[in-house]
A and B are shown apart, each in its own frame.
Chain A
Amino acid sequence: MPAPDGTPERRFESYGEGIPIPGVEPEELTGWLIVIEGTDGVGRTTHVNHLRAVLEREGYAVAETGLTRSDLAAEGIRRAKEGNTLGSNAYNLFYATDFADRLERQILPALRAGFVMLTDRYIYSLIARAIVRGADADWIKSVFSFALKPDAVFYLRIQVPDLVPRVIMNGGFDYWESGMDLPMGQDLFDSFVNYQARVIQELDQLASEYAFATLDATHPVEEVAHDLAERVLELLRQSAHTEDVQGA
């Protein structure tokens, strides 16, 4: 699709060579892919909901996705977790299957249709969790090399001491979010602290490697939400692919 005169050409690419997904034409993808990253309990859902409302008010069509929301593998992953029966590399690849299904059947169609695709976590959380569970870093990154590079990744950064009260107020320590499958401590709390510290450490590493835009999630929610919305709107305006409407 030719870009209208004077507007910058937007073109997606993947982390691998070309887009190694059969049947994808990068120039068809006219939407935006915006990722919200951050560890468990940092408040991503709140921010995605707020951002969606802001963008829709501005006239953008918004779609959403997040981990284990695939038609194909969500149910299978849920069942596997119930029995805690898969080895860690099998889990990593099951999540990669879930991601691939959402990329092809949720994200790409939304981008073709010119939507803003808001993604509650992307490959980075999956890579961080896999590394913490002992996966080879190069390997897990190469597994996800088919992923599209997002227009922006906003990283809600927090440290464990600030995370703990939020988690307590939101229902307590989850088995998996505490890394109890490993485990990393004598009880739920110890394991949570150690596991989350490692995940955050890996996310910090990925933040510099993939140039995330980092937001300090310890600031008041309204302030972070406002900042996030401003940054996203700025990005959408800069890379506008719509024609200016005369007199608008």
Chain B
Amino acid sequence: MMQGQTRYGGNAPAWPGRLFIVEGIDGSGKSTQLTLLSQWLQSEGYPVVFSEWNSSPIVRETTRRGKKRKILTPLTFSLLHATDFHDRVEREIVPFLKAGAIVLADRYVYTAFARDVVRGVDPAWVRSLYRFAVVPTMSFYFRTPLEVALKRILSGRPKLKYYEAGMDLGLHTEAQASYRLFQARILAEYERIVAEFGLTVMDATKPIETQQKILRKSIAPHLKGLRQEGIVHARA
């Protein structure tokens, strides 16, 4: 009776805006691709807003506290990110979709589905937690071989944070070794999610400009009627 029957995937309101999201493990190049897409859309005259994972100002202080003192558990980690997400949905995503903007999100509910489940949280519970999240117009998964992504991250940024490295899972006492094992598990979980929710797979080993071309072509059919003629972007 307590376990909700419905789970994420049913909420697709007919608002005028569009929501495009990118997912993938660290080092997959998804943020680079989304930034390029955003610049292109703005230069083409589309109203664009950006929403980033884990960025709600009200929740940030608590997340920082939990991480600094290492008191986050799989359950509180999951709930705190859900709090952050719902705050962003209510402030940054829904109003703009209603207003007819293109909302671009770097990571979405699938990040939580992957990370929380790797941490041991019940998959059905976390899917119910996010059940009112708007289903994106298109979701892109940047598929990257583990070694490629690890090389990108580990060559440039040697100091890994405790939760970032998945040290709380107790997989390994050394940060880099822990990070490798953690990312491998997330990658495996992502593959299950891709099949479950039908994410559009991008080959993240292709050259950046090739990926961008494919990305623009994929979203093009969804852009009809969204261009704002005559409005010049202040930032363009």
Q: Are A16 and B3 in contact (CB under 8 A)?
A: yes
Per DSSP, chain B at the interface is helix
Within 167-203 of B, Cβ neighbours of A (below 8 Å) are at none
Q: Are A138 and B58 in contact (CB under 8 A)?
A: no
Within 56-96 of A, Cβ neighbours of B (below 8 Å) are at 71-73, 75-76, 79-80, 83, 85-87, 89-90, 93-94, 96
Q: Are B71 and A105 in contact (CB under 8 A)?
A: yes
Given A22-B119, A87-B91 in contact, is the A97-B83 Cβ separation under 8 Å?
yes
For the complex, is A15 an interface residue (Cβ under 8 Å from B)?
yes
For the complex, is A33 an interface residue (Cβ under 8 Å from B)?
no
Tell which of B2, B61, B62, B89 has the most Cβ of chain A within 10 Å: B2
Q: How far does the alpha carbon of A89 sit from the alpha carbon of B69 in the complex, in Å?
A: 26
Contact of B4 among A71, A73, A97, A142 (CB under 8 A): A142
Contacts of A138 in B (CB 8 A): 4-6
For the complex, is A182 an interface residue (Cβ under 8 Å from B)?
no
Contact of B59 among A94, A101, A105 (CB under 8 A): A94
Q: Are B71 and A85 in contact (CB under 8 A)?
A: no
12 contacts between A and B (CB under 8 A): A17-B122, A21-B74, A71-B69, A89-B132, A90-B59, A90-B83, A93-B82, A97-B76, A97-B79, A101-B76, A141-B4, A145-B4
The 7 closest A-B pairs by CB, nearest first: A87-B90, A142-B4, A76-B62, A22-B120, A90-B87, A15-B2, A93-B83
Interface residues of A, Cβ cutoff 8 Å to B = 15-17, 20-22, 71-73, 75-76, 79-80, 83, 85-87, 89-90, 93-94, 96-97, 100-101, 103-105, 136, 138-139, 141-146
Given A15-B2, A96-B79, A100-B75, 4 other A-B contacts at CB below 8 A? A90-B86, A101-B76, A138-B6, A142-B125
